[in-house]
A and B are shown apart, each in its own frame.
Chain A
């Protein structure tokens, strides 16, 4: 059932579970609790479509490393940012859950193995293929080889591409029909009220941009508002911040044009562009072996080729997928984006002979984009600004910091890839990632292309740790010091790996739902 908060006046309803935010995390928790004996209320700030006034609640200040305007870096309506995500899915690797002595503040209080069953569920909700990230397996399935690199320091790693699943449209009906779920749209949470012992959230206050207000009570509350809004809500209500950790350790995946590879045109690189395989789509890239990362004491990253997709292969896949869905007699919920992509690829066919320029040339130049892990840094943080939003709440202030470890890791990774390409007698590489760390701070000294930036992934700001002095939430994502306040989001990630976070956010949301059920 969906309700419109603008039509609810001065009342207090009580539920078993109250979820704040209806993005990937919130919808996953709600779906996992669907048809249970628990009554669930999901509060969403927006409606079913983007609305500039609601979206403006996300505006904020940026005082650190340059970043996207905060109101453009996420979406505030039902389905959240899944309405515009690219669909890249991969789990964090086992070593990324572990403490790495060269990565400050690293280590999760759970293992990859523990999360695997939930990753499998996450695969289903994201409409992906088999839960298998072995590059060799997919290379054989795709019938496109991996680069013929000699055994060495570089390996191929792959991700799977979700259609991408737009949670707001794909799962709207599921949520609407669920007997035990009430979703209230246009509902902005402003106040979170604790009991006199400051341990139990008793109720939260909802306000709308129309001016009305009401309260929601629940046994358990889940903040699922994203890596910027979750810390904002905690800071606004002075909850969970007894050790001055809320908002700290903000991490992003750093993206930048990192190098150019020049390879013989005859080498098949389709596996590294996008390969349709069975019911999914695979894209491969280059990364360093984990023992090399340890030996070099650097962070993880993935280097993807940014050539245009080979149109005929991708087009065939997309057309086949679309046709299959239409043949079921239903209009797929991502029809618009499918058609748009197909049209765009048809245009590419006319515009380009293929990947890169002159096909009479024996060599092809391949731009390489680095997608890099950031280390947890307490000085990289979200705080509250002085300006107020339309609801009278202090806005977010982001101070994103990038340390020398990130800068060195990105550069060194490209050096090693370049050396391995040369060693394997495949070609040569020109590295664009700056050699001197301070170049990052001076856009004029950066090489061609855009400067380093984020990937719209907001992580770490309510980090997870068993020790309240080192984390905002415990191993079950419960806010330390509270009995019934949980967080479902990438904001709980202690480290972020290089992998896009959505699959892990969803896996963690499923895990949380299991935990909530176990509370009885």
Chain B
């Protein structure tokens, strides 16, 4: 039951991300490299973004197998950005997410996945999409 609630919240979070809220903070459309302007955006574009997110997440987990579990990723992410929502996005702090990403870049806490450079926080968030 608890996991189901989390899945709902996670899906909403990811969808919000891919729909363009705080996209620059997440960097995802940048690496997907093909986000049309809002007027031209279609559901297929969102699918493409989610696919990119999952691909990055898989690459991250392959590189860091020790984090390849929900429990591990949640623990690490929540330690950085506070509680992740288990229902909707209420209580979730985008500012904390952005600050954590920025802090990662400042501290060189970055990962290189297929050459792409990500803040550790965002890479872990993408990994959540596949565990």
B52 to chain A, nearest CB (A): 11
Which B residues are in CB contact (< 8 Å) with A361?
Answer: 33-37
Docked complex: B1-45 residues within 8 A CB-CB of A: 24-25, 27, 29-31, 33-37, 40
How many Å lie between the Cα of A425 and that of B95 in the bound state?
A: 13
Q: State whether A363 touches B119 (Cβ < 8 A).
A: no
User: Is B90 on the interface with A (CB-CB < 8 A)?
Assistant: no
Q: Is A422 a contact partner of B105 (Cβ separation < 8 A)?
A: yes
A259 to B116, CA, bound (A): 9
Nearest CB of chain A from residue B18's CB, rounded to whole Å: 13
- Given A419-B117, A420-B105, A423-B102, residue A363 in contact with residue B110 (CB < 8 A): no
What are 17 A-B interface contacts by the 8 Å CB criterion? A152-B106, A263-B30, A360-B40, A361-B35, A361-B36, A363-B30, A363-B34, A363-B35, A419-B117, A425-B24, A427-B27, A428-B30, A430-B31, A430-B117, A431-B116, A431-B117, A435-B112
A447 in the interface, Cβ–Cβ < 8 Å? yes
Docked-complex contact B27 and A428, CB < 8 angstroms? yes
> Does B31 lie within 8 Å of A419, measured CB to CB?
no
Bound CA–CA A263/B35 (angstroms): 12
CB-CB under 8 A from B112, the residues of chain A are 415, 431, 435
Query: Is B66 an interface residue when CB atoms closer than 8 A count as contact?
Result: no
Say yes or no: is A488 at the interface (Cβ < 8 Å to chain B): no
B129 within 8 A of A: no
The answer to whether the Cβ of B73 comes within 8 Å of any Cβ in the partner chain is: no
When chains A and B are docked, how far (Å) is the Cα of A422 from the Cα of B116? Answer: 11
Q: A362-B29, A428-B117 are in contact. Are A419 and B36 (CB under 8 A)?
A: no
User: Which of A152, A264, A426, A431 interacts with B115 by CB under 8 Å?
Assistant: A431
Set of chain B residues within 8 Å of A152, measured between Cβ atoms: 106
Would you call A422 and B101 a contact (CB within 8 A)?
yes
A412-437 at interface with B (beta carbon < 8 Å): 415, 418-420, 422-423, 425-432, 435
* Contact size range, A: 20 to 34
Report B31 CB to chain A, min CB distance, Å: 5
A422 contacts B115, C-beta separation under 8 Å: no
Q: Does the CB pair B110–A419 fall under 8 Å?
A: yes
For residue A259, which residues in chain B have a CB less than 8 angstroms away from its CB? 115
Count A-B contacts at CB 8 Å.
75
Give the interface size class of chain B. Answer: 20 to 34
Q: Is the CB of B35 within 8 A of A423?
A: no
Residue A365 is within 8 A (CB to CB) of chain B in the complex: yes
- Residue numbers of B with Cβ under 8 A of A are 24-25, 27, 29-31, 33-37, 40, 98, 101-102, 105-106, 108, 110, 112, 114-119
> Closest Cβ of chain A: how far from B118's Cβ, in Å?
7
**A362-B35, A362-B36, A362-B37 given; A428·B116 CB < 8 A:** yes
Inside 8 A of B115's CB, which chain A residues have their CB? 259, 430-432, 447
A152-B106, A363-B33 known, 18 other contacts, Cβ within 8 Å: A360-B36, A360-B37, A360-B40, A363-B29, A363-B30, A418-B117, A422-B27, A422-B110, A422-B118, A422-B119, A423-B102, A423-B106, A427-B27, A427-B30, A428-B30, A429-B117, A430-B115, A447-B115
Residue of B98, B105, B108 contacting most chain A CB atoms (<10 Å): B105
Listed from nearest, the 6 A-B pairs whose CB atoms lie closest are A423-B105, A418-B117, A262-B30, A428-B30, A430-B115, A422-B105
A residues neighboring B (CB under 8 Å): 152, 259, 262-264, 360-363, 365, 415, 418-420, 422-423, 425-432, 435, 447
- A262 and chain B: residue at smallest CB distance: B30
Nearest Cβ on chain B to A216's Cβ, whole angstroms: 56
Assembled-state Cα–Cα distance A420/B27 (Å): 13
- Nearest CB in chain B: distance from A363 CB, A: 6
Residues of chain A within 8 A (CB-CB) of B98 are 425
A418 partner residues in chain B, CB cutoff 8 A: 110, 117
Give bound CA distance, A185 to B39, whole Å.
67
Query: Do B40 and A428 have beta carbons less than 8 Å apart?
Result: no
Is the pair A429, B37 in contact by a Cβ cutoff of 8 Å? no
Min distance, Cβ B72 to any Cβ of chain A, angstroms: 24
A426 to B37 CA separation, bound complex (whole angstroms):
17
Chain B residues with Cβ below 8 Å from A427 are 24, 27, 30
Residues of A contacting B117 with CB < 8 Å? 415, 418-419, 422, 428-431
Q: Which of chain A's residues have a CB closer than 8 A to the CB of B40? A: 360
Q: Using CB atoms, name the residue of chain A closest to B101.
A: A422
Known: A363-B30, A423-B105, A425-B102. A430 touches B35 (CB 8 A): no
Residues in A whose Cβ lies below 8 Å from that of B25: 425
CA distance A431 to B115 in the complex (A): 5
**Interchain CA distance A479-B51 in the complex, whole Å:** 64
Instruction: Give chain A nearest CB distance to B14 CB in angstroms.
Output: 18
- Which residues of the partner chain B approach A360 to less than 8 Å between Cβ atoms? 36-37, 40
The smallest C-beta distance from A451 to any residue of chain B, in angstroms, reads 16
Is A419 a contact partner of B102 (Cβ separation < 8 A)?
no
* Docked CA distance A418–B116 (Å): 9
